[in-house]
Protein backbone atom coordinates (compact mmCIF):
# COMPACT_ATOMS: atom_id res chain seq x y z
CA UNK A 1 0.00 0.00 0.00
CA UNK A 2 2.69 2.46 1.03
CA UNK A 3 4.61 1.73 -2.12
CA UNK A 4 1.64 2.41 -4.36
CA UNK A 5 0.98 5.72 -2.57
CA UNK A 6 4.65 6.65 -3.04
CA UNK A 7 4.47 5.88 -6.75
CA UNK A 8 1.35 7.96 -7.18
CA UNK A 9 3.03 10.90 -5.45
CA UNK A 10 6.10 10.51 -7.62
CA UNK A 11 3.93 10.63 -10.75
CA UNK A 12 2.33 13.79 -9.45
CA UNK A 13 5.78 15.37 -9.13
CA UNK A 14 6.99 14.29 -12.53
CA UNK A 15 4.20 16.16 -14.22
CA UNK A 16 5.02 19.71 -15.16
CA UNK A 17 2.41 22.32 -14.55
CA UNK A 18 1.49 25.00 -17.05
CA UNK A 19 -0.04 28.12 -15.61
CA UNK A 20 -3.28 29.17 -17.29
CA UNK A 21 -1.78 32.70 -17.19
CA UNK A 22 0.13 31.85 -20.34
CA UNK A 23 -3.25 32.09 -22.13
CA UNK A 24 -4.02 35.19 -24.22
CA UNK A 25 -4.80 38.46 -22.45
CA UNK A 26 -8.35 38.29 -21.08
CA UNK A 27 -10.94 39.77 -23.42
CA UNK A 28 -14.14 41.42 -22.24
CA UNK A 29 -15.93 38.11 -22.46
CA UNK A 30 -13.27 36.46 -20.33
CA UNK A 31 -13.57 39.39 -17.93
CA UNK A 32 -17.04 38.14 -17.02
CA UNK A 33 -15.37 34.93 -15.89
CA UNK A 34 -12.77 36.74 -13.77
CA UNK A 35 -13.88 34.53 -10.91
CA UNK A 36 -15.75 31.28 -10.97
CA UNK A 37 -17.51 29.98 -7.90
CA UNK A 38 -17.60 26.31 -6.94
CA UNK A 39 -19.02 24.52 -3.93
CA UNK A 40 -16.48 22.10 -2.48
CA UNK A 41 -17.25 19.16 -0.26
CA UNK A 42 -14.28 17.76 1.65
CA UNK A 43 -14.56 14.26 3.01
CA UNK A 44 -11.76 13.98 5.56
CA UNK A 45 -10.95 10.58 7.03
CA UNK A 46 -8.76 7.53 6.77
CA UNK A 47 -8.09 6.18 3.26
CA UNK A 48 -6.26 3.01 2.34
CA UNK A 49 -2.58 3.62 1.73
CA UNK A 50 -2.35 6.89 3.68
CA UNK A 51 0.85 7.80 5.51
CA UNK A 52 -1.07 9.61 8.27
CA UNK A 53 -0.28 8.25 11.78
CA UNK A 54 -1.84 4.87 12.48
CA UNK A 55 -4.25 6.14 15.13
CA UNK A 56 -5.43 9.03 12.93
CA UNK A 57 -9.03 8.35 11.91
CA UNK A 58 -8.68 4.71 12.99
CA UNK A 59 -12.34 4.59 14.16
CA UNK A 60 -13.46 5.50 10.63
CA UNK A 61 -15.10 8.78 11.70
CA UNK A 62 -15.16 11.37 8.92
CA UNK A 63 -15.50 15.13 8.70
CA UNK A 64 -17.81 16.36 5.93
CA UNK A 65 -16.77 19.96 5.26
CA UNK A 66 -18.62 22.08 2.69
CA UNK A 67 -17.36 25.50 1.60
CA UNK A 68 -17.62 27.92 -1.32
CA UNK A 69 -14.52 29.05 -3.20
CA UNK A 70 -13.83 31.44 -6.07
CA UNK A 71 -11.22 30.44 -8.65
CA UNK A 72 -9.89 33.82 -9.75
CA UNK A 73 -8.12 35.07 -12.87
CA UNK A 74 -5.35 36.87 -10.95
CA UNK A 75 -2.00 35.64 -9.72
CA UNK A 76 -2.04 34.41 -6.15
CA UNK A 77 1.32 36.10 -5.32
CA UNK A 78 1.72 33.45 -2.64
CA UNK A 79 4.86 31.36 -2.24
CA UNK A 80 5.06 28.65 -4.89
CA UNK A 81 4.00 25.17 -3.90
CA UNK A 82 5.73 22.41 -5.85
CA UNK A 83 2.54 20.38 -6.16
CA UNK A 84 0.57 23.24 -7.76
CA UNK A 85 3.46 24.73 -9.76
CA UNK A 86 4.84 28.22 -10.28
CA UNK A 87 2.78 31.37 -10.78
CA UNK A 88 -0.38 29.89 -9.35
CA UNK A 89 -3.66 31.80 -9.67
CA UNK A 90 -5.72 32.88 -6.66
CA UNK A 91 -8.39 30.67 -5.12
CA UNK A 92 -10.29 32.44 -2.32
CA UNK A 93 -12.85 31.12 0.11
CA UNK A 94 -16.31 32.67 -0.37
CA UNK A 95 -17.67 31.18 2.87
CA UNK A 96 -16.45 29.66 6.11
CA UNK A 97 -15.90 25.94 6.08
CA UNK A 98 -18.32 24.11 8.37
CA UNK A 99 -18.57 20.67 9.85
CA UNK A 100 -20.59 18.92 12.52
CA UNK A 101 -19.17 17.01 15.47
CA UNK A 102 -20.57 15.91 18.83
CA UNK A 103 -20.48 19.53 20.06
CA UNK A 104 -22.62 20.76 17.15
CA UNK A 105 -21.84 22.81 14.05
CA UNK A 106 -18.29 24.17 13.89
CA UNK A 107 -16.97 26.96 11.65
CA UNK A 108 -13.44 27.02 10.34
CA UNK A 109 -11.81 30.10 8.94
CA UNK A 110 -10.00 29.48 5.64
CA UNK A 111 -7.29 31.54 3.90
CA UNK A 112 -6.71 31.79 0.12
CA UNK A 113 -4.34 29.56 -1.81
CA UNK A 114 -3.18 29.02 -5.39
CA UNK A 115 -4.62 26.98 -8.26
CA UNK A 116 -3.42 25.70 -11.63
CA UNK A 117 -4.56 23.36 -14.38
CA UNK A 118 -2.21 21.02 -16.17
CA UNK A 119 -3.43 20.51 -19.76
CA UNK A 120 -4.54 17.04 -20.89
CA UNK A 121 -2.35 14.78 -22.99
CA UNK A 122 -4.63 13.78 -25.82
CA UNK A 123 -5.67 10.13 -25.66
CA UNK A 124 -3.40 9.52 -22.66
CA UNK A 125 -4.32 11.45 -19.53
CA UNK A 126 -6.89 14.08 -18.57
CA UNK A 127 -6.23 17.65 -17.41
CA UNK A 128 -5.41 17.94 -13.71
CA UNK A 129 -6.76 20.68 -11.44
CA UNK A 130 -4.54 21.34 -8.44
CA UNK A 131 -4.91 23.90 -5.65
CA UNK A 132 -4.44 24.48 -1.97
CA UNK A 133 -6.38 26.31 0.73
CA UNK A 134 -4.90 27.35 4.05
CA UNK A 135 -7.01 26.35 7.04
CA UNK A 136 -6.38 28.90 9.79
CA UNK A 137 -7.61 26.39 12.34
CA UNK A 138 -8.10 22.65 12.38
CA UNK A 139 -11.18 20.59 13.15
CA UNK A 140 -11.72 17.55 15.36
CA UNK A 141 -14.25 14.75 15.21
CA UNK A 142 -13.31 11.89 17.50
CA UNK A 143 -9.95 10.53 16.30
CA UNK A 144 -10.14 12.22 12.89
CA UNK A 145 -8.65 15.70 12.66
CA UNK A 146 -8.30 18.20 9.89
CA UNK A 147 -4.89 19.70 10.72
CA UNK A 148 -4.52 23.50 10.59
CA UNK A 149 -2.45 24.67 7.62
CA UNK A 150 -2.38 23.99 3.90
CA UNK A 151 -4.60 21.29 2.44
CA UNK A 152 -3.88 20.25 -1.17
CA UNK A 153 -6.57 19.27 -3.66
CA UNK A 154 -6.05 17.36 -6.91
CA UNK A 155 -8.60 16.06 -9.43
CA UNK A 156 -8.90 15.18 -13.10
CA UNK A 157 -11.03 17.37 -15.36
CA UNK A 158 -12.54 17.17 -18.84
CA UNK A 159 -14.05 19.47 -21.41
CA UNK A 160 -17.12 18.16 -23.25
CA UNK A 161 -15.35 18.35 -26.64
CA UNK A 162 -12.58 16.17 -25.28
CA UNK A 163 -15.00 13.51 -24.06
CA UNK A 164 -16.75 13.56 -27.45
CA UNK A 165 -13.49 13.21 -29.44
CA UNK A 166 -12.27 10.46 -27.10
CA UNK A 167 -15.53 8.50 -27.37
CA UNK A 168 -15.47 8.77 -31.18
CA UNK A 169 -11.90 7.50 -31.35
CA UNK A 170 -12.75 4.69 -28.96
CA UNK A 171 -15.84 3.60 -30.94
CA UNK A 172 -13.80 3.54 -34.16
CA UNK A 173 -11.14 1.36 -32.57
CA UNK A 174 -13.70 -1.02 -31.08
CA UNK A 175 -15.35 -1.36 -34.49
CA UNK A 176 -12.01 -2.02 -36.19
CA UNK A 177 -11.13 -4.58 -33.53
CA UNK A 178 -14.42 -6.46 -33.50
CA UNK A 179 -15.47 -6.31 -37.17
CA UNK A 180 -12.08 -6.55 -38.79
CA UNK A 181 -9.07 -7.65 -36.75
CA UNK A 182 -10.76 -10.33 -34.61
CA UNK A 183 -12.73 -11.75 -37.55
CA UNK A 184 -9.58 -12.03 -39.69
CA UNK A 185 -7.58 -13.40 -36.80
CA UNK A 186 -10.13 -16.15 -36.20
CA UNK A 187 -10.10 -17.10 -39.90
CA UNK A 188 -6.29 -17.00 -40.04
CA UNK A 189 -6.07 -19.18 -36.92
CA UNK A 190 -8.45 -21.77 -38.40
CA UNK A 191 -6.55 -21.73 -41.69
CA UNK A 192 -3.24 -22.15 -39.87
CA UNK A 193 -4.54 -25.00 -37.69
CA UNK A 194 -5.83 -26.96 -40.69
CA UNK A 195 -2.69 -26.50 -42.82
CA UNK A 196 0.07 -29.07 -43.19
CA UNK A 197 3.38 -28.34 -41.42
CA UNK A 198 5.08 -26.89 -44.52
CA UNK A 199 2.16 -24.55 -45.35
CA UNK A 200 2.04 -23.45 -41.67
CA UNK A 201 5.42 -21.75 -42.04
CA UNK A 202 4.10 -19.45 -44.77
CA UNK A 203 0.94 -18.66 -42.80
CA UNK A 204 2.62 -17.87 -39.51
CA UNK A 205 3.61 -14.29 -40.30
CA UNK A 206 0.02 -13.37 -41.20
CA UNK A 207 -1.14 -14.82 -37.88
CA UNK A 208 1.51 -12.97 -35.91
CA UNK A 209 0.72 -9.72 -37.75
CA UNK A 210 -2.97 -9.97 -36.89
CA UNK A 211 -2.38 -10.75 -33.24
CA UNK A 212 -0.02 -7.79 -32.99
CA UNK A 213 -2.71 -5.60 -34.55
CA UNK A 214 -5.18 -6.93 -31.96
CA UNK A 215 -2.80 -6.16 -29.05
CA UNK A 216 -2.16 -2.65 -30.39
CA UNK A 217 -5.88 -1.91 -30.71
CA UNK A 218 -6.59 -3.20 -27.19
CA UNK A 219 -3.69 -1.09 -25.83
CA UNK A 220 -4.99 2.04 -27.55
CA UNK A 221 -8.52 1.47 -26.25
CA UNK A 222 -7.12 1.11 -22.72
CA UNK A 223 -5.14 4.32 -22.95
CA UNK A 224 -8.20 6.21 -24.26
CA UNK A 225 -10.18 4.80 -21.31
CA UNK A 226 -7.51 6.12 -18.94
CA UNK A 227 -7.92 9.59 -20.46
CA UNK A 228 -11.74 9.68 -20.18
CA UNK A 229 -14.01 9.90 -17.12
CA UNK A 230 -14.82 6.53 -15.61
CA UNK A 231 -18.25 5.14 -16.37
CA UNK A 232 -20.58 6.21 -13.58
CA UNK A 233 -18.70 9.47 -12.86
CA UNK A 234 -21.47 12.07 -12.86
CA UNK A 235 -20.08 15.59 -12.88
CA UNK A 236 -21.88 18.85 -13.42
CA UNK A 237 -19.83 21.01 -15.79
CA UNK A 238 -18.84 24.54 -14.80
CA UNK A 239 -16.55 27.43 -15.74
CA UNK A 240 -12.97 28.25 -14.79
CA UNK A 241 -11.17 31.49 -15.65
CA UNK A 242 -9.19 31.22 -18.94
CA UNK A 243 -10.83 27.92 -19.89
CA UNK A 244 -13.24 28.65 -22.74
CA UNK A 245 -15.24 25.50 -22.47
CA UNK A 246 -17.12 24.17 -19.47
CA UNK A 247 -15.12 21.79 -17.38
CA UNK A 248 -16.18 18.62 -15.55
CA UNK A 249 -14.19 17.83 -12.41
CA UNK A 250 -14.03 14.27 -11.09
CA UNK A 251 -13.87 13.53 -7.38
CA UNK A 252 -10.25 13.79 -6.28
CA UNK A 253 -7.75 13.45 -3.46
CA UNK A 254 -6.93 15.64 -0.46
CA UNK A 255 -3.52 15.67 1.16
CA UNK A 256 -1.27 17.53 3.58
CA UNK A 257 2.45 18.20 3.16
CA UNK A 258 4.85 16.90 5.78
CA UNK A 259 8.67 16.89 6.03
CA UNK A 260 10.06 13.75 4.38
CA UNK A 261 11.76 11.10 6.49
CA UNK A 262 15.01 11.51 4.60
CA UNK A 263 14.65 14.88 2.83
CA UNK A 264 12.18 17.04 0.94
CA UNK A 265 8.47 16.66 1.54
CA UNK A 266 5.91 13.92 1.60
CA UNK A 267 2.21 14.24 0.94
CA UNK A 268 -0.12 12.32 3.24
CA UNK A 269 -3.60 11.41 2.05
CA UNK A 270 -6.26 13.13 4.15
CA UNK A 271 -9.42 12.07 2.32
CA UNK A 272 -11.36 12.87 -0.82
CA UNK A 273 -13.31 15.84 -2.19
CA UNK A 274 -15.82 16.70 -4.86
CA UNK A 275 -17.21 19.93 -6.28
CA UNK A 276 -20.16 21.43 -8.15
CA UNK A 277 -20.28 24.77 -9.95
CA UNK A 278 -22.29 27.70 -8.55
CA UNK A 279 -23.68 30.18 -11.08
CA UNK A 280 -22.64 33.47 -9.47
CA UNK A 281 -23.82 35.56 -12.43
CA UNK A 282 -27.38 34.28 -11.96
CA UNK A 283 -27.32 35.26 -8.31
CA UNK A 284 -26.03 38.77 -8.98
CA UNK A 285 -28.48 39.71 -11.76
C1 LIG B 1 -15.78 19.81 17.88
O2 LIG B 1 -14.91 20.63 17.09
C3 LIG B 1 -14.33 21.72 17.79
C4 LIG B 1 -13.53 22.49 16.75
O5 LIG B 1 -12.64 21.66 16.08
C6 LIG B 1 -13.48 21.21 18.94
O7 LIG B 1 -12.94 22.30 19.65
C8 LIG B 1 -14.33 20.35 19.85
O9 LIG B 1 -13.51 19.79 20.85
C10 LIG B 1 -14.98 19.23 19.04
N11 LIG B 1 -15.86 18.48 19.89
C12 LIG B 1 -15.74 17.17 20.04
C13 LIG B 1 -16.69 16.49 20.96
O14 LIG B 1 -14.88 16.51 19.46
Rounded Cα distance, 274 and 233, in Å: 11
Instruction: Report the pLDDT averaged over residues 143-147.
Output: 95
- The more confident residue out of 152 and 6 is 152
Q: Which of 106-110, 141-145, 237-241, 276-280 is least confident?
A: 276-280
pLDDT tens for 80-138 read 999 999 999 999 999 999 999 999 999 999 999 999 999 998 888 899 999 999 999 99
Local confidence band at 280 (pLDDT 50, 70, 90 cut-offs): low
Query: At 141, phi and psi to the nearest 5?
Result: -140, 105
Contacts (Cβ under 8 Å, ≥6 apart) of 279: 37
Distance 103 CA to ligand 1 centre (A): 6
Residue 30 has pLDDT above 70, yes or no: no
Q: Where residue 216 falls among pLDDT bands split at 50, 70, 90?
A: very high
- Count CB-CB contacts under 10 A for residue 182: 15
The verdict on the CB of residue 105 being under 6 Å from ligand 1 is: no
Counting ligand 1 atoms within 8 A of each CB, the residue from 64, 105, 140, 143 with the most, and so the one to mutate, is 140
Confidence bin at 243 (pLDDT 50/70/90): confident
Residue 63 pLDDT greater than 90, yes or no? yes
pLDDT band for position 12 (cuts 50, 70, 90): very low
Q: How far is Cα 69 from Cα 280, in angstroms, rounded to an integer?
A: 11
Using 50, 70 and 90 to split pLDDT, how confident is the model at 19?
Answer: very low
Average pLDDT estimate for 157-177: 93
**With 70 as the cut, is the pLDDT of residue 37 above it?**
yes
Nearest CA to ligand 1 atom 14: 141
Give the pLDDT mean for 235-254: 91
Pairwise pLDDT comparison (222 vs 235), residue with the higher score: 222
**Distance, CA 84 to ligand 1 centroid (Å)?**
31
Model pLDDT, residue 104: 95
The DSSP letter of residue 196 is: -
CA of 58 to the centre of ligand 1 (A): 17
- The pTM assigned to this predicted structure is 0.81
Which of 24-28, 69-73, 274-278, 280-284 has the weakest average pLDDT?
Answer: 24-28
How much of the chain exceeds pLDDT 70, in percent? 86
Q: Does 102 contact ligand 1 (Cβ within 6 A)? A: yes
Higher pLDDT, 204 or 7: 204
- By the 8 A CB rule, do 115 and 129 touch? yes
Q: What percent of the chain has pLDDT over 90?
A: 73
- Nearest atom in ligand 1 to the alpha carbon of residue 139 is 5
The count of C-alpha atoms lying within 13 angstroms of the C-alpha of 243, restricted to the half-sphere facing its C-beta, is 28
Using 50, 70 and 90 to split pLDDT, how confident is the model at 21?
Answer: very low
Q: What is the Å distance from ligand 1's center to 268 Cα?
A: 23
From 42, 101, 102, 109, mutation site for ligand 1 pocket: most ligand atoms within 8 A of C-beta: 101
State in Å: Cα 153 to ligand 1 middle. Answer: 24
Q: What is the DSSP string of 208-260?
A: HHHHHHHHHHHHHHHHHHHHSPPTT-----EEETTEEEEEEE--EEEEEEEE-
pLDDT interval class at 235 (50, 70, 90)? confident
Say yes or no: CB of residue 106 within 6 Å of ligand 1.
yes
Mean pLDDT value across the chain: 87
For atom 10 of ligand 1, the residue with the nearest CA is 140
Q: In angstroms, what is the span from residue 63 Cα to ligand 1's centroid?
A: 11
Amino acid sequence: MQISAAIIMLLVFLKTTVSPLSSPVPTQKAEAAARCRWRLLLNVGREEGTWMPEDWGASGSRLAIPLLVDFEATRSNLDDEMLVGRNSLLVSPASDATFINESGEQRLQVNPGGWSVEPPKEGKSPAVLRFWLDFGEGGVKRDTTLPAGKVFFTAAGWMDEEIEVGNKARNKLVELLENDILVNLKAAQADYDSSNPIAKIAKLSNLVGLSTARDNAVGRIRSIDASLPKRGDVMKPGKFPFIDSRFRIAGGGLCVKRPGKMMGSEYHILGTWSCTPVEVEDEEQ
